[in-house]
Structure 1
Amino acid sequence: MTQPLSIEAGEKGSAAQTLSPARPVSLQRTVLGACAGALMEYYDFSIYATLTIYLSLSFFPPDNPAIAVLLAVSSMGVAFVVRPIGGFIFGSLGDRWGRRKIFIVTLFLMSVATIGIGALPGYATLGVAAPILLVGLRVLQGFAVGGEYAAASTYVVEHSPRKKRGYYTGWLASMAGTAIVLALLAVALVQTTMSKADFQAWGWRVPFLLATLLLVVSLVIRRQLSESPVFRELERTGRTARTPLGDILGNWPAAREILAVSIGISAPQVTSGVVGSMLSLYLLQTLTSVDPATSNLLVAAGCISAIPMTVFAGWLSDYRGRRTVQIAGMALGVLFYIPLFHALLASIGNKPLALLIIVALQVPSSLVVGAAFSAIPEIFPAERRATSVAIVSSLGGVIGGLAPAISLWLTNKGGLTLGAAWPVAILLVGMIVNWRWVPSRTGAEIL
């Protein structure tokens, strides 16, 4: 359990009420609980992205494989499109009912959708109903994710010491890379136990169904957690918002700030994350002769490097500021994404070089993502923090989540340079907005 509120004397003799951070063991348990759910969330999305080729063969008409892949990738983007709806609802409930309750509900909904995809009959059995039901399950995933990110990041920030928020949320942010590695390794492991024909026919479902194990472990851990000390203080003092969403929509400065943070932090965060991992995977699987198993292992090995880099970026943001670290990551992406993608496709005959390039692609995303998880919750007032973070992450997710589909479409139309220019443009605009309009509140008071 966390330590109770304490009253400390101010410099002029007045009582200044402060929140004591959790004891080390309690704080570790808090971060572990948040990370468990985040791992489940990112595994859900990563396993879908990893198996896009097989999903396109199972759920979409087989007439045109390239179009089927594009439709499968687009259905992944659908989940990002509905994220704002989930963000509006679950974020508002998180400010009214508490952070802990919401991220238990969202975790369960995400898991149901993932397991459902693994059990859903394909196009050969259901016909046109198969892709419709697949999209429906993706909608459910996106709806749940809209609240999960906000609840988890807000929860960890509100438990962490002021000068270590970036470090602890860096662990939460690193779950993206961890989940990608876990998903890719799960697929590779299953592929080694059966023939290519069996994996294409039914074996691809196994990694989806393995989410059941993650669900059980994550729920057990999260149910043992206590509510955020900041939210408990809001309840004690009667400051919980009754209509946090209405308070935002009816307040232009608040709405403008949310829009700026969505474009200046969240969109580059999501975009850089999917570019460094999933877009690399798609390009290897669709534009080269590298077999899916090899491309999965290459990207998994590259993403392992993102785990310590993301934690380091969070730690660094505690000392150098969130804005500095984020803009550094965006600038690296703007400068090097296009040449790195060209180098990746040119290196397919040299696996060590391809791996080195994939590792290099993780650097921009690690810096942006590692600092963003603490930067976004710090910006907003406690009374509407979960709602604000949910809206920001959802709006940014719409922009960034569609980046792979748009990039693939542009690549098919005008070549790799045009396709890679889309994420570069998102990061460039994000840099400008972040520098000009996004407040930097590293280590600021959060209550």
Structure 2
Amino acid sequence: MKQPIPKNEDERVWALTEFDIDYSDSAVLLKDLVELAAKIAGTKISLINLIDTYTQWTVADFGLPIEQMGREESVCQYTILNNEGFEVKSLSSDERFKDKFYVVDNPNLEYYFGIPLTTNDGFNLGALCVLDTTAKEISPEKVELLKIVAKEVVNRLATIKYIQGLKSKVNQVHENNKKMAHDIRGPLSGIIGLAQMVTDQGQSQKLDDILEIMKLIHRAGKSLLDLATEILNAEDQHARGVIQTSDFTLINFKDKLEKLYTPQAASKHINFLLDIKVGQELKPIPKNKLLQIAGNLITNAIKFTPQNGTIKVDLSIRTDSNAKHFLEIIVSDSGVGLTTQEIDEILKGTKASSNGTTGEQGYGFGLSLVKRLVDELKGNMSIFSEKGNGAQFKITLPQ
């Protein structure tokens, strides 16, 4: 059965990515709303689901502890097709859902009603849905209340995005201050050196007037140099404080990827390995869009790796000859591999979607999304593969 795809799918997924949501760490901010939705509808279960290219992520739940499922398995994929509510009065009688695991097995769901989570720009990020094991009737008044709750969910996500933006701007100001201090240090060091040279020459030639002026220049320049050093030290102390409070390191990154994607790999009996370069576990890194980049690569690898295959993720920080630091993410798989033409299409953002090794449906935006995100962060994406011999995706991001 062909999977439903919104007409604005590429823009919709990009809008979701711009929110930069940590799917494993949002429940506390939305827990009251998902519980309120269930109480309004009078249902046993309520979920807040966000839908990316491959996966439906449950970021808050009431009555059914679930974290994710393949997008092609979900009911909410139909809810995001338009801006109206979507209702299924009998999941067990509907050809689209009667064989799904949540209908034929525990919790044996029967009723579904979903409201799309629509941004001000008209993009449906996912759905607020209420579910039950028996038939239900939801009055028009309750539907309107559920729409209000759905709108508040989007408002909270937008607020989180805004706060993250403010933090980024604050960090940028600190970086600009550091750059300014460095820029000051260079010419000041030159002035001081010149002044010292003229002072030395003046002493040998007994040019008292020049000597006195140069002493003043030397003293003033050194004072400014000390000030610039003080600014740098203050910024470094602040940076250390930010690291302690945000505390996002390579090991945190690894742990989140394990939590989010181990279930997907396990469901296909794929050996999923993650590794950090020895000694770099506590290296601090900016969290910006990392989960979206690595997540899409991992899910894509799962899609195109056969059962009992292997996927390995390597994380490291490397330093180039100019002492610049780069985060390196390498995702390798033992899957079906890529031709040279397919690699070229991915890097150009023109690669069309295709089905996975066990018939997983493609939605067409995963790898082009990664390429777009990497470009936005001024990074680099390389692909090494041969048809039939697996693939390796290497992402390099300046830090």
Compare relative contact order (CA 8 Å, sep 6+) and give the higher one, 1 or 2.
1
Larger Rg: 2
Q: 1 or 2, which has the higher helix percentage?
A: 1
Question: Could you tell me the TM-score, scaled by structure 1's length?
Answer: 0.26
Q: 1 or 2, which has the higher strand percentage?
A: 2
